[in-house]
Amino acid sequence: MRISGWVYAGGAAAVLLGGLMVATAGWSLPPAKSQQIGYRGVGMVQSKDASVVAAQAKITAPPPAYEASAEGQRAKEVYPNLQVLGDLSEDQFNRLMASFAEWVGGEQSCAYCHNPENMGDYSKYQLIVARRMIQMTRTINTDWTSHVGQTGVTCYTCHAGQGVPKNVWFKEPGPTLPGHTKWVGYTGDQNIVAKNAGLTSLPHDALSEYLLGDRAIRVHTNTALPSGNKATIMDTEHTWSLMMHMSESLGQNCTFCHNSRAFNAWDESPPQRVTAFYGIRMSRAVNKTYLEPLTSTFPRERLGKTGDVAKVGCATCHQGLNKPMNGAQMLKDFVAELGKKP
């Protein structure tokens, strides 16, 4: 049988192209670290890229706060224009303001939120947002201990010294191309790489569905001929999109929260699954109660492509770690300031 030279040329080109892809794509062949967390043979293994683990170890909490007396005048007596935190002592209030400058202000320090000419001036939108975020932080630390425990959160947990947290999300505009209709150029939510779905082609709007809306998380039904608990293919794909987000946000694979033998079985799952359950609901409550109502407060350049406000997801606090800030006790020095009901 005679084989055309074009076949040889094509084969050689394919080999060369494959070699170039491997050599130039920036891929890493990691020294993987794996830990068996279940019985042998059931796939309960945590695998991590050693270089990622090293990068995560560099994420650190802020230095501990200096001591502040709870005695003396209340802050609202010294600063009469206060709308939150007036119950603190003057010393506690000043310490918290100094911490805010470090946690959020960055190079601008106090001027990020305040008018230096009049610290009580509420004309800057950052100050209006900060006031609401203080109330949000107090709510998280008091109402959501089912997720944050006694570790708690502070502004630094999400902001890490930046005015805008690095890991927030906006609604995706969707896969339909501009000028096209649902019938012409519509992809059916398929084969479009989405940042909110871990750079996969899974549905792009899963975070809107689960961390803003209350769509039920479903992968499959419990019986061969289901009745009641029905799950469609689209339900499954949306759920997996959310799971991709959670996996990347915590730097863990599926077995961190699930038993590989029976993903849907709660009684066979690791305890982290319950913590994650409350984390989803906490994110949803924070987005609906505190962030979405602030949409009109932000300038247009701070909004997303669809005009929506930045929202929190698992990555906002976790930043690739299963415990934010590698488990640092964020609240312990600020219980009086941020550990009370708003």
Over residues 254-309, the pLDDT tens digits come to: 999 998 888 888 998 999 999 999 999 999 999 999 999 999 999 999 999 899 99
As for how many domains the chain has, the answer is 3
Locate all alpha helices (DSSP H) within the chain, ordered by sequence.
5-24, 50-56, 75-78, 90-100, 125-143, 145-148, 155-159, 206-210, 233-250, 272-286, 314-318, 335-338
Is 338 inside a domain boundary? yes
Q: How far apart are the C-alpha atoms of 14 and 173, rounded to whole Å? A: 37
**Is 9 contained in some domain?**
no
d(CA 313, CA 245): 8
pLDDT digits (tens, 9 = 90+) for 185-239: 556 556 677 788 888 888 888 999 999 999 989 887 777 776 766 788 888 889 9
pTM of the model: 0.84
Which residues constitute the domain of residue 34?
28-58
* Token pair of 269 as six digits: 């799952």
Mention every residue, 6+ apart, whose C-beta is less than 8 A from residue 87.
74, 75, 76, 340
Residue 40 has a pLDDT of 74
Residue 99's closest CA among 142, 63, 152? 63
Over residues 98-126, the mean pLDDT reads: 85
Residue 19 lies in a domain: no
Same domain, 46 and 127: no
Same domain, 184 and 311: yes
Residue 30 contacts residue 51 (beta carbons within 8 Å):
yes
Q: pLDDT tens for residues 4-60?
A: 555 566 667 777 767 766 666 566 566 777 788 877 777 788 887 777 778 888 888
Per-residue pLDDT, averaged over 87-93, amounts to: 94
Last residue of a domain, one of 20, 37, 58: 58
Residues 105 and 180 in one domain: no
HEC secondary structure over 48-72? EEHHHHHHHCCCCCCCCCCCCCCCC
pLDDT > 90 in the chain, percent: 49
- In this prediction, residue 276 carries a pLDDT of 96
